[in-house]
Structures are given as C-alpha cells and as structure tokens.
Structure 1
Amino acid sequence: MDDAYSEPEPFDPAPARSAAEAEWRFAAPRLILVEWHDAHADWHNRVMADELFAPPSYLPKEGVEALACPCGNYKQLTVVGSWGGPLTLQCPCSSPFRATSDAPWAVNVLKRLILWHSDATSELRQLNDLIIEHHTAHHIYRDRVTDLVDNSAATSTAHDLRALMHAPIPDNNLLPLARAVARREERETRSMRLRRALREVRLTPEGRRPRYAGGPLTRYLIRGMTALVDSADRDLILTEEGRRLLDTIDRVTMDVCQHDPGGLGSGS
C-alpha cells in the first residue's frame, strides 16, 4: 500500500558522483524507518473525539516502522536504484522486491539512502532541522491551548475556539517518549539511554519488525535516535552533526517533560 507511507524530500542535493553513475548498489543501514499512516485508525479517532458519552479510545494512526521484504526480513538489505528512480531492495532471501515504481515517498527514501551512503551525517542534519521545525510548531500550539485554558471562553474569540475544536488530536506518544529519554539511570551512557528509550516506546516486541506510533515530532525524534545508535562502525554519535542532534533531542524531550500537560513540570 504505497499511500500508507510518506517520506519528506531530502534537503541536500544529489551527490556529484550520481551524475556519472546510473545505478547505485550498497548495503542499507540496519533499519530503514519510514512513516506509516492508517486511514481507518484516523477515521476511528475522529469519531472518538466527537463522542460525548464514552471515554475516548484512540488507535495508533501514524508512526514509523522498518521497511521489510515480503518474507518479513528487515535486516541486511541491499539498496538498488538511481537518483529520482524507483526504490529496489535486495533481501538475503534472494527475492528482490520493488517497493514501488513511482510513489513519491519511495523516491524520497531512495534519495535519503543515497545521501546517507555518500555522507551519513547528511541525514543527521536533516533530522535535526525537522525536529527543531516540528518542536517549534508544537510549542506554538501548546502555548495557544494554554492561553485558551487560562482564559474563559468569554474572553476568547470565536475564531480561537473554532481553531482549537478542529485542531489535530494531541500526540499521546510524545510525552512517554520524552520521559523515557529524559530519565537517566545509573552508569548509563547517552547511547544506552537512547536504546533503552526506543525499547520502551516500541509497539512490537524484540525480534519483530520495529514499529513506533506518534505524530511528526515523535517520528523525527525516533528516527534521529535510531540514526545515532544504529550507526555501526561509523560512530555518528561522535561527529559534530551527531553531537548537535543528540543535544537537540535532549533539549526537546526535556522541554516536553517540563511544559506539556502531565509532564515533569506538572508534578507527575
């Protein structure tokens, strides 16, 4: 289901060598996380949001998960394709599968992987910018909700109230992730802390294809954390871009813990 996935366009242009090479072939990162969306769950959640006589029971409607071969394997995949072309992944089971022929999300995934193969820090820079962008949007929305709660409906404009009524359902996955990242256990390195946090918020058990739920900010935090801890021998967490991304993740998650309803700042 091609329309079940999405992927933002990479910020960086194509590597220079791509003009001379028609096709790329290289080992993929340990996980290729892509954004998934569940239209049925989205419809269900909107119905629940309008329910007046029963407590809402929301379903995960979006998040990130690892791309996998139809055989179920999501590790040791080989990326094959040209810049701007369809994405093909070769599985160790020897059954090549084409993710799609023309879906924009797959083309963008291939571009992202080519950039990662040429310069792994390019993805760290993009994720850092995306986290900052969506944290800013989250901060603006949170402040607006706080203002409306602090002021009575009589002092709020009809436009403000309509905007709040039709705002997206809050991301209930963000605060648990932020709490998991912010918690520091004894003798735990920053890399170990990120790995633990990812295990705690994962929807699937160990050994199954990794899947996480959450809105844009949660998704990019998880992708950033995964990129840092799954860099194998590249030691991306020690690069300048890695340290900057790590600092951004810590700063954003601490802000969520301190200021979001139910966070550390509210006494919970």
Structure 2
Amino acid sequence: MSDELFAPSNSYLPHRGVEALACPCGNYRELTVIGTWGGPLSLECPCPSPFRASSSKPWAVNLLKRLILWRADATSELRHLDDLIIEQHTAHQIYRDRVTDLVDNSAATSTEHDLRALIHAPVPDSHLLPLARAVTRREERETRDMRLRRALREVRLTPESERPRYAGGPLICYLIRAMTALADSDDRDLMFTDEGRRLMDTIDRVTADVLAQDPGSATAS
C-alpha cells in the first residue's frame, strides 16, 4: 500500500460512521477480517458455530479499505481524522457566524426573545458539549492518552448493554474515532508520532472552542 503497487490509496474516501460488527454468539472482539482492496469484506468468528459473513455493500468495502490502510500504515487513519475533524469544526464555526450575522442584520425587526434564542442557538449536536467538557477536564498526573480513555468512559453515548456505537453528528463521530485510535493504540505508540501529536492538538483545540462558545460554560467569552 505504501508504494501503491497493488492499489491506489487515494481511492479510499472516508465516510461518516462507526460500524459495530458481531457474530450471533455475541463476540465482537475476536473477529477475523478477510478481503482484498475494493472487494467484499468477510468476517470469521472462532466460535464453535462456525460463523462467517460477507458483504459487498459500500460501507463494507469502505471499512475493509480503512482496515487495510490501518494495517499498512496506522498513521493514515490519524491524518484522515485530523482533516475530517477540522472540516466539520469549520462547518460549525460557519454556522455560528451565520447565526451571529442573522442577529445583527435583523435586530430592527426581531424581538429581544428572538435575538437571545438565535445568538445562543447551539451547534445542533446535543452530545458534543458533554464530550468537550470531559476532554478538557484534566487530572493530576494524567497523561494525554489516559485523559482520552477517561473522557470516553465518562461520556456514555449508548446504554452499557449495547455494543459500541456512536451518537450524534459527524463532528462527534470523528472525535470519538480519533480519541479511540489514540487511546487504544497499544504498542503502536501512535500518540507519539507527528500525526498523533497533531491529532491530539486538534482534539484539544476543537473541544476548547466548543466550550468557549457555550453560553452556559464558565469559559464562554
């Protein structure tokens, strides 16, 4: 993949979503993924069943490409996520700017209640603010990866009985994927690569901005 001898990596297009895959036996941690670039994704489970499932749907093909890229170069995922977080955060900033501009330009015809409702209109993602608060809270002797793990534990996006899923819009989806990739990198030491440090800085910058823009936050400007 690094030399693009077998497949062009630019044919991978990142999509929003986190897929939760599992065998009917309930196992989702020890699945074997089988497939080639651009082909269907197949799963095998080591349970006595035995279980095997295959899908050629776009989400499956895309997920397989992402896993291949991750296996060949783990930092490729970090670069994609950094770009996607910045892109979505920029879209949120544009939304806020438009709301402010709307308030300024309609001040003569709007009631005080209308203006207050518009200027305090939140970015439409109810899960984003709790995540930002969890990420920005720091504890003594806590490393950056420990902070991400603790934040992910604190923000329960789904009932504990369900398999891992994401909730909310694109920005929180990409933030959670990025936090998980950095916190669970194990022996890959992704946190200490240039891409990992850049992504961690992006997460900190975005979550701090979310808090700064929240009218009810102590750090709001």
Post-superposition offset of 1:259: 1.2
Q: Distance in 1 between matches of 2:70 and 2:182?
A: 13
Deviations 1:172-196 (A, max 9, x none): 1111111110011122111111011
Partner of 2:175: 221
Partner of 2:98: 144
Q: Distance in 2 between matches of 1:174 and 1:14?
A: 35
**Is 1:111 matched with 2:111?**
no
Counting only pairs closer than 5 Å after superposition, residues 40-51 of structure 1 correspond to structure 2 as none
Deviations 1:119-165 (A, max 9, x none): 01100000000001001001110121233345545468xxxxxxx9x
Instruction: Report percent identity of matched pairs.
Output: 74
Aligned residue for 1:211, secondary structure, equals coil
Q: Is the 8 A contact 1:182 1:250 kept in 2?
A: yes
Q: Distance in 2 between matches of 1:110 and 1:191?
A: 26
The correspondence for 1:96, drawn from 28, 35, 52, is 52
Partner of 1:31: none
Deviations 1:205-238 (A, max 9, x none): 5575222311000000000001111112111111
Q: Structure 1 counterpart of 2:140, which letter?
A: E
What is the RMSD computed on CA atoms of the aligned residues? 2.8
Corresponding residue pairs, total: 203
The correspondence for 2:132, drawn from 168, 172, 178, is 178
Change (3 A) 1:181 1:228: same
Q: Is the 8 A contact 1:80 1:89 kept in 2?
A: yes
Q: Structure 2 counterpart of 1:247, which letter?
A: D
Q: Distance in 2 between matches of 1:262 and 1:84?
A: 47
Q: Is the 8 A contact 1:204 1:210 kept in 2?
A: yes
**Is 1:127 matched with 2:73?**
no
Aligned residue for 1:66, secondary structure, equals coil
Partner of 1:7: none
- TM-score, normalised to structure 2, is 0.81
Q: Distance in 2 between matches of 1:135 and 1:169?
A: 10
Q: Structure 1 counterpart of 2:203, which letter?
A: I
Q: Distance in 1 between matches of 2:40 and 2:194?
A: 32
Deviations 1:43-87 (A, max 9, x none): xxxxxxxxxxxxxxxxxxxxx453222332221222101111111
Partner of 2:11: none
Q: Distance in 2 between matches of 1:75 and 1:66?
A: 10
More strand by share: 1
Q: Distance in 2 between matches of 1:211 and 1:244?
A: 25
Q: Structure 2 counterpart of 1:105, which letter?
A: W
- TM-score, normalised to structure 1, is 0.67
The correspondence for 2:151, drawn from 197, 207, 212, is 197
Q: Distance in 2 between matches of 1:244 and 1:68?
A: 32
Aligned residue for 2:51, secondary structure, equals coil
- Give 4+ residue runs of structure 1 displaced > 6 Å after superposition: none
Partner of 1:22: none
